[in-house]
């Protein structure tokens, strides 16, 4: 919804992009802190409360008319995302035997990719056709349905090990865990350097209509679902670290092709396929990787991992906005890979290093 939202709030596109940065930074800071503060609560009640907070935050965003209140609404909403994303995965791990935890976590993250299949193109289409307020209202309505489903189907009485000072010391003294969560930041940042501006980039590269943008983003989401489904099948077979590596390599290939997709629909589609196959699969595999490395620390390490994903979103979006403010037009969108490719290469190197350390 970013282009229409920028117009509605009367701010430049790179400034509107900082709404993503504000949301992501708030999640980054609050996710591990809130995971610790809420560790003693029943998982069903916690997940329900976070969904309802998400409803309230999006309703507030639909009603504001200027940039500063919108930032406040997005920060409020971020607290719901900070808890729900990581704790939904940790809750799923409580429902299955240890040998099936990787698949269970990947299936939860599969929901994230299915949401992208519907949410991203639908948000772009609804905002272009009716407006950004309607887009936020649609998210609020979907979140309310999610809250009802959580209450209906998540069993009561699910609890995790309470987080105390000793657990924090254990996590922050575990260099392997910290290395793995750093991989999440390094693979997230390059994605959002480009993805935050994918709608205007698609229009600039292909002169695409709102309907075509929606179709292309839906295709991206479908490949994300496929990639995540493959990840859920192979994580427990070949190891989460290998799935992470394959996912990042696939995304790197997509970004290397990106500059040549301007005016070339087949190349653009190939970029979305390679990128989609890796993006959600990588997040799923990273969460499973942490659960495999230290199951007793999973609720907090997964929250810390979510924090790093959103830190990457914040850094990538901000960096992309700076570049676009200095290199406008098609050239700016093409040059976003100057940010993404080095970061992907760094993520590959660090993930390989963590995999070797885990085998020692």
Neighbours of 173 (CB within 10 A): 9
Domain that holds residue 252: 2-359
The confidence score (pLDDT) of residue 360 equals 44
- As a whole-number percent, the residues of the chain with pLDDT over 70 amount to 99
Q: Are 323 and 338 in contact (CB under 8 A)?
A: yes
**The domain spanning residue 163 has which CATH number?**
1.20.1250.20
Measured from the Cβ of residue 329, the count of other Cβ atoms closer than 10 Å reads: 9
Measure the CA–CA gap between 189 and 14, rounded to whole angstroms.
Answer: 16
pLDDT of residue 340: 95
Arithmetic mean of pLDDT, 336-359? 93
Q: Give, in order, the Cα–Cα distances in Å from 208 to each of 199, 268, 292, 336.
A: 9, 12, 43, 19
- Alpha carbon dihedral 150, 23, 69, 11, in 10-degree steps, equals -130
Nearest residue to 278 (alpha-carbon basis) of 254, 310, 256: 254
Residue with tokens 């970061």: 343
Give mean pLDDT, residues 167-171: 81
Q: What is the DSSP code (8-state) at residue 41?
A: S
Per-residue pLDDT tens for 292-328?
A: 888 777 777 877 888 888 889 889 988 998 999 898 8
- Which range, 56-60, 207-211, 226-230, 289-293, has the best average confidence (pLDDT)? 56-60
* Separation of alpha carbons 359 and 350, rounded Å: 15
Distances (CA, A) of 67 to 5, 74, 207: 10, 11, 28
The DSSP secondary-structure symbol of 96 reads: S
Q: Comparing 202 with 128, which gets the higher pLDDT?
A: 202
Domain count, the chain: 1
Using the predicted structure, report yes or no on whether residue 224 has a pLDDT greater than 50: yes
User: Which of 344, 17, 12 is CA-nearest to residue 198?
Assistant: 17
Question: Contact, 113 vs 228, CB < 8 A?
Answer: yes
Structure tokens at 43: 């998982």
Query: Per-residue pLDDT tens for 57-107?
Result: 999 999 998 899 999 999 988 888 878 877 887 788 788 887 777 777 777
| 117-137 mean pLDDT | 81
Q: Whole-angstrom Cα distance, residue 285 to residue 236?
A: 10
- How far is the C-alpha of 76 from the C-alpha of 219, rounded, in Å? 31
Distance CA 122, CA 217 (A): 9
Q: Give me the chain's average pLDDT, please.
A: 87
**Residue 65: CB atoms within 10 Å:** 10
Please report, in angstroms and rounded to a whole number, the separation of the first and last CA atoms in the chain.
47
């Amino acid at each position: 919804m970013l282009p229409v939202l920028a117009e509605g709030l009367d701010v430049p596109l790179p400034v509107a992009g900082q709404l993503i940065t504000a949301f992501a930074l708030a999640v980054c800071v609050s996710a591990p802190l809130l995971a610790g503060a809420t560790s003693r609560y029943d998982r069903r009640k916690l997940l329900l409360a976070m969904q309802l907070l998400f409803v309230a935050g999006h309703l507030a965003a639909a009603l504001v008319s200027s940039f500063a209140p919108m930032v406040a609404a997005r920060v409020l909403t971020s607290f719901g995302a900070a808890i729900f994303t990581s704790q939904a995965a940790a809750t799923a791990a409580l429902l299955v035997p240890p040998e099936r935890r990787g698949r269970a976590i990947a299936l939860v993250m599969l929901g994230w990719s299915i949401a992208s299949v519907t949410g991203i193109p639908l948000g772009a289409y609804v905002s272009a056709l009716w407006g950004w307020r309607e887009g936020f209202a649609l998210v609020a309505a979907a979140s309310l349905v999610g809250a009802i489903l959580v209450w209906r189907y998540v069993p009561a009485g699910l609890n995790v090990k309470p987080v105390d000072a000793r657990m924090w010391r254990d996590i922050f003294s575990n260099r392997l865990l910290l290395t793995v969560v750093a991989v999440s930041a390094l693979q997230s940042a390059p994605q959002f350097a480009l993805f935050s501006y994918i709608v205007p980039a698609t229009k600039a590269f292909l002169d695409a209509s709102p309907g075509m943008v929606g179709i292309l983003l839906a295709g991206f989401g479908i490949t994300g679902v496929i990639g995540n489904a493959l990840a859920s099948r192979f994580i427990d077979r070949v190891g989460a670290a290998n799935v992470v590596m394959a996912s990042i390599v696939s995304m790197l290939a997509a970004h290397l092709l990106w500059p040549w997709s301007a005016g070339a629909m087949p190349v653009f589609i190939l970029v979305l396929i390679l990128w989609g196959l890796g993006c959600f699969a990588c997040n799923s595999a990273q969460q499973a990787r942490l659960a495999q490395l230290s199951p007793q620390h999973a609720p907090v390490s997964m929250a810390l991992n979510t924090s790093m994903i959103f830190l990457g979103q914040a850094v990538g979006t901000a960096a992309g906005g700076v570049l676009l403010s200095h290199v406008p037009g098609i050239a700016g969108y093409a040059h976003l890979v100057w940010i993404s490719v080095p970061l992907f290469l760094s993520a590959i190197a660090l993930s390989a290093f963590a995999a070797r350390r885990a085998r020692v």
